[in-house]
Amino acid sequence: MLSSLSFALIFMVGFISAQFNFFDGMFRHQEQHQPSGASQWAAHSEGISCNRYLCPATLECVRAPRECPCPNVEDIKCIIPDVDNRDGATVLCVRGQNECADVERLSKKQWM
């Protein structure tokens, strides 16, 4: 009886030790994972030489933010003029049948 109890105890200690070594090894390998999308984007954008405006979605170098292309080919760029700043504008990329008409209609709506 004592031998079977000691055998079971040794078996359990070995099993538990193996489990902790597995988890310990698993967590040590986290340092080797691929960089996240944000850090990849930052590294790639730093490598692009642009002395004007670098579009955040497409990483194209343009003169002003309103000249940035939409990231998806099927999107349509809507430019909403700024009321206070004549040179300023808001740019939206939309997709759909009504394209920019809904955006223009909503931008002219008076909020109370």
pLDDT digits (tens, 9 = 90+) for 35-47: 666 777 677 777 7
Each residue's pLDDT tens digit, 4-37: 666 555 656 565 655 555 555 555 555 555 566 6
| Concatenated DSSP letters of 14-48 | HHHHHHHHHHHHHHHGGGGSPPPHHHHHHHHHHTS
The domain spans of the chain are 37-64, 70-112
- Interacting residues of 47 by C-beta distance below 8 A, sequence separation 6+: none
| Cα 99 from Cα 106, distance rounded (Å) | 12
What's 91-105 look like in SS3? EEEECCCCCHHHHHH
Bridge partners (DSSP) of residue 94 are 76
What are phi and psi for residue 62, nearest 5 degrees? Answer: -130, 170
Q: What's the whole-model pTM score?
A: 0.51
